Amino acid sequence: MSESNSSRSNLRAFLREPSTDSIDLAVVSDSGLTQTYETASGNQRLVAGAAPEIEANVIVIAHPDGKRLGTRYRLTPGAVLEVGRSNEVEVSLPEVLSISRRHARLHHLGQGVSIEDLGSTNGTYVNGRLLVGSSMLRSGERFQVAGVHFKFLHEKDVESAYYEAIYDLVTRDGLTDIYNKRKYEEEVGREFARAVRHQRPLSLILFDIDRFKQINDTYGHLCGDFVLKEVTQVV
């Protein structure tokens, strides 16, 4: 409960900060959000006197079907992130038919992140302009892949923490701090597709807590919520 209250306090604080983007919280809270995805990091080189390497985030801010809003993909130095309909890319969007199988690529070069179009049919746009060749992204900029819009943010930015707070509020139960049904519905589809792609088994475990109703009736729902939270932490 204390972590949830802290997230809400952080969100209220961030709302008072100037933002480079206005986001409809009602739309976000009505949409299932998925977890943060982190790409595999490549070799990192430290150069004397060079600016420090920082992680970056790519966040879905608009989708033709209203899906995936708030989904965050993390780019570490040296990592490559491709967007397309193919199951082989890091950001796979098979439901958006206007996206090419391999549409665009982002590459974290250590001191910055570049974006390039991979010869897609409908093009890639950065801040509303058609991308020709490749370009370096600045924190706060938007880019569009067919009907899906993304926002690029450096990890250190306050606005990145703002989206993190929104993600926490929408995907976790306020009392127990447990991931909710919305989170499950998004994740089960992604994990099933991954199991099929890699031809490996997928298990779903269901369990029941004995006398849980009795605990609620005897000690109240707050105690029941506490039991749920403790059980999930053990599992």
From edge to edge, which strands make up the β-sheet containing 134-137?
91-92, 80-84, 104-108, 113-117, 134-137
Kindly list the domain boundaries of the chain, sorted by start residue: 2-171, 181-234
Strands (E), 63-187: 72-75, 80-84, 91-92, 104-108, 113-117, 124-126, 129-130, 134-137, 142-145, 148-154
Question: How far, in Å, CA of 217 to CA of 8, rounded?
Answer: 29
Question: How far, in Å, CA of 152 to CA of 226, rounded?
Answer: 38
The two structure tokens encoding residue 228: 């749920």
Question: How far, in Å, CA of 83 to CA of 145, rounded?
Answer: 8
Q: What is the pLDDT of residue 27?
A: 38
Q: What is the pLDDT of residue 148?
A: 92
pLDDT in tens, the chain (235 residues): 444 455 455 544 444 443 434 434 333 333 344 344 544 434 333 333 444 568 899 988 888 887 888 888 999 999 999 999 999 999 999 999 999 999 999 999 988 999 999 999 999 999 989 999 899 999 989 999 998 999 998 887 867 777 776 777 788 776 677 888 888 888 888 888 888 888 999 998 888 889 888 988 898 877 887 888 888 878 7
In our burial notation (b when 16+ CB lie closer than 10 A, e otherwise), range 196-231 reads: eeeeeeeeeeeeeeeeeeebeeeeeeeebbbbbbee
In our burial notation (b when 16+ CB lie closer than 10 A, e otherwise), range 7-27 reads: beebbeebeeeeeeeebeeee
Q: What is the pLDDT of residue 17?
A: 41
Q: What is the pLDDT of residue 220?
A: 83
Give the CATH class of 2-171. mainly beta
**Among 64, 22, 63, CA closest to 166:** 22
Q: Which pTM value belongs to this model?
A: 0.55
Q: What is the pLDDT of residue 156?
A: 79
